[in-house]
A and B are shown apart, each in its own frame.
Chain A
Amino acid sequence: MSSLTTSPAGAPRATPRPSGGGLPGAVAAEWTKLWSLRSTWYFLLVAAAVMAVTAGCIGTVSHDPAASVARPATLATVYGVEFVVAALAMLSVTGEYATGSITNTLQCVPNRARMLVAKSITLGGVAFGAGIVLAAIGVAAGGAAMDAGVFEMSYVAGQVLAIAVHLALLSVLTVGLAAIVRSSAGAITALFLLLLIVPMILQSIPADFFTDLAQFLPQAAGAQFMADEAELYGPVAGLLILVAWAAAFLTAATVVLRRRDA
């Protein structure tokens, strides 16, 4: 690595007319970065294990013969798997701040909105794809563990899809949140506050307003979206509320990143 005689910029000049780049380029770069880290695979394997174990456990204690075999998978997503998938999304941002490689990312994609959207598409897309597989694992593990359950193909397929969409939207939300917070510890804290602690506190306040408010936080909205019957406002409203949360965090992150020094 020492003796270097090669001519500078390295022989022929790169493609004369610049092409590529833009949002597709930014997504391609994020995709390359994501899969060039071994930790990505570890997270997905852990998510699969958590899904199998949690859905299995929930299945064994489910004794409602009218329940769908997809029910344990849905519950396992809300109570376990989503945190592992969200952590992967979080690390794609906080990992770059921790290592300082965020400056490199912003050198390649200086447009803050484009960078965040590229991360969202990549992490959301991976969460969606992985979500299908994870949900299938959950249905298999949960269904096998139940002593009785209803297997209706179209319904189960809908639930699998819903789980994947939920994980994708939560990943997008987490990308935004992580970009605002920057540190892993801070982002994990903020995520737990948002998903678990704040709803609990709100529901413990003996006033209808706060109890109702808790129903509109991302975790409850996601649960509504994936629920089999319209308990409160139903799956469609649940999906829209979750989309709104993800969009809000992404927008806030864009504003913050534009104003803040990297």
Chain B
Amino acid sequence: MLTLQGLTKRYGEKTAVDRLTLDVAPGKITGFLGPNGAGKSTTMRMILGLDHPTSGTALIKGKRYADLAHPLREVGALLDAKAVHPRRTAYRHLLAMARSHGIGAKRVDQVLDVAGLGEVAGKRAGSFSLGMGQRLGIAGALLGDPEVLMLDEPVNGLDPDGVLWIRNFLRSLAAEGRTVFVSSHLMSEMELTADRLIVIGKGKLIADAPMADILSRSSRNSVRVRGPEAEGLRLLADRLLEEAADVTWESAGELVVTGLSVERVGDLAHERHVRLHELRAVEASLEQAYMELTAGSVEYGQAPPPGPGVQPLAYGGPPLPYGQPHAGQGEGESLVV
């Protein structure tokens, strides 16, 4: 269980992490998503006590990392797969880690096998590919059999096989009741892996919600309506506009409605006695939802993302607080979904 309380990191003028307050709960995979430079790695480094917060705290089961008696038994972390002495063998690297905690050499063999590195244990880490380096980092994270696992971009450099392995692996770790905190800038990967999403942009919390919520609240969730009678559809469109939905004409016989549920659109069509040939909910992908969320908070981006995501989240319900969090206002609170 990780608890961040107003966690802030400033480098001179630049704020890398801005008042992050959040909990990462056990038993599920929490995705930590944000564009490059959003502050994901800095946040993780502060959790591990590598970087000092300018203000705020990052606690593991109520304790600072530096105060843990056996940190590797509490938190297994993979930050940078290349942060291994290249001339040390994988086995010796892990053995040194194990000895720092009085963990036996048997456990080293075990985690090497789990990570699929059993056959290259005697090879120098410098000869490893990025994917093998990631596996070595994961082996190191597992060494102390920790309750909290924190992985920074673990699928980086893995082949599709390895990506699948990580995904299943993280699921089983979460299923064992562990806290799994995984960062990524690959939304497609998170969509398949994470149960909960924490999205940050420019160091600020943009969203902290279950995956399903984030997807369902996306403005890209739309309803496609097709019918044979143009007049009827026009009536329906007028009615939909009264409900504050967004209506776009795809063609004379086809509407795309955003901001209303498919059930509501169907009911309204029924109420107006409009004949329909198609009524279908189109679900946004996480990628689209993410683009909307992070619009305006991309550190190194060029243009705003295409499409209506720029003036986002036109949906029927109450206004979503994460819609325009970066209009430059100083108030950073209440950005949480």
Interface of A with B (CB < 8 Å)? 1-4, 6-11, 13-15, 18-22, 25-26, 28-33, 36-39, 95-96, 99-104, 106-111, 259, 261-262
Please, what's the 1-or-0 string for B129-156, where 1 marks a CB less than 8 Å from any CB in chain A? 0001001000010111100000000000
Asked if B215 CB lies within 8 Å of chain A CBs, one says no
Asked if B242 CB lies within 8 Å of chain A CBs, one says no
Check B69 against A21 for contact (C-beta < 8 Å): yes
Asked if B241 CB lies within 8 Å of chain A CBs, one says no
Using a Cβ cutoff of 8 Å, how many contacts connect chains A and B? 150
Check A262 against B51 for contact (C-beta < 8 Å): yes
Residues of B within 8 A of A109 (CB): 100
Check A8 against B114 for contact (C-beta < 8 Å): yes
CA distance A107 to B135 in the complex (A): 17
Please, what's the 1-or-0 string for B76-111, where 1 marks a CB less than 8 Å from any CB in chain A? 010110111111110011011101111110010011
Check A99 against B116 for contact (C-beta < 8 Å): no
Task: Give 6 A-B contacts (CB < 8 Å), ordered by A residue.
Answer: A9-B176, A10-B110, A21-B101, A25-B102, A26-B100, A106-B49
Do A103 and B120 form a contact, CB below 8 Å, given A14-B103, A28-B99? Answer: no
CB distance from A179 to the nearest CB of B (A): 15
CA distance A262 to B51 in the complex (A): 6
Question: In the complex, which residue of chain A has the Cβ closest to the Cβ of B64?
Answer: A110
Residues of B within 8 A of A1 (CB): 116-117, 119-120, 132, 135
Select one of B80, B104, B140, B142 contacting A100, CB under 8 A.
Answer: B80
Check A110 against B65 for contact (C-beta < 8 Å): yes
Check B79 against A103 for contact (C-beta < 8 Å): yes
Check A10 against B85 for contact (C-beta < 8 Å): no
Of the listed stretches B19-27, B157-165, B206-214, B225-233, name the one at the interface; the rest are far from the partner chain: B157-165
Residues of B within 8 A of A95 (CB): 85
CA distance A101 to B92 in the complex (A): 13
CA distance A104 to B119 in the complex (A): 23
Please, what's the 1-or-0 string for B283-314, where 1 marks a CB less than 8 Å from any CB in chain A? 00000000000000000000000000000000
Asked if B245 CB lies within 8 Å of chain A CBs, one says no
Check B73 against A14 for contact (C-beta < 8 Å): yes
Check B100 against A28 for contact (C-beta < 8 Å): yes
Question: In the complex, which residue of chain B has the Cβ closest to the Cβ of A115?
Answer: B100
CB distance from B283 to the nearest CB of A (A): 30
CA distance A110 to B80 in the complex (A): 17
Check B173 against A8 for contact (C-beta < 8 Å): yes
Select one of A13, A32, A99, A104 contacting B99, CB under 8 A.
Answer: A32
Check A262 against B50 for contact (C-beta < 8 Å): yes
CA distance A247 to B135 in the complex (A): 40
Interface of A is mostly: loop
Asked if B71 CB lies within 8 Å of chain A CBs, one says yes
Residues of A within 8 A of B162 (CB): 2
Asked if B192 CB lies within 8 Å of chain A CBs, one says no
Select one of B77, B86, B88, B104 contacting A36, CB under 8 A.
Answer: B88
Residues of B within 8 A of A28 (CB): 99-100
Select one of A8, A38, A106 contacting B172, CB under 8 A.
Answer: A8
Residues of A within 8 A of B95 (CB): 32, 36
CA distance A260 to B165 in the complex (A): 37
Check B102 against A99 for contact (C-beta < 8 Å): no
Asked if B68 CB lies within 8 Å of chain A CBs, one says yes
CA distance A26 to B72 in the complex (A): 13
Check B83 against A6 for contact (C-beta < 8 Å): no
Q: Looking at A6, A9, A262, which has the most chain B CB atoms within 10 Å of its CB?
A: A9
Do A14 and B96 form a contact, CB below 8 Å, given A100-B82, A108-B101, A110-B71? Answer: no
Asked if B113 CB lies within 8 Å of chain A CBs, one says yes
Select one of B101, B114, B117 contacting A10, CB under 8 A.
Answer: B114
Residues of B within 8 A of A39 (CB): 87
Residues of A within 8 A of B85 (CB): 33, 37, 95-96, 99, 101
CB distance from B332 to the nearest CB of A (A): 23
The 4 A-B residue pairs with the shortest CB-CB distance in the complex, in nearest-first order:
A20-B102, A36-B92, A29-B100, A100-B83
CB distance from A27 to the nearest CB of B (A): 9
CB distance from B336 to the nearest CB of A (A): 28
Residues of A within 8 A of B178 (CB): 9
Asked if B70 CB lies within 8 Å of chain A CBs, one says yes
Do A104 and B97 form a contact, CB below 8 Å, given A4-B165, A9-B176, A110-B68? Answer: yes
Check B50 against A37 for contact (C-beta < 8 Å): no
Check B172 against A7 for contact (C-beta < 8 Å): yes
Check B161 against A2 for contact (C-beta < 8 Å): yes
Check A21 against B100 for contact (C-beta < 8 Å): yes
Do A19 and B102 form a contact, CB below 8 Å, given A8-B169, A107-B48? Answer: yes
Select one of A6, A32, A96 contacting B92, CB under 8 A.
Answer: A32
CA distance A111 to B159 in the complex (A): 37
Residues of A within 8 A of B69 (CB): 18, 21-22
CA distance A233 to B246 in the complex (A): 90
CA distance A22 to B172 in the complex (A): 31
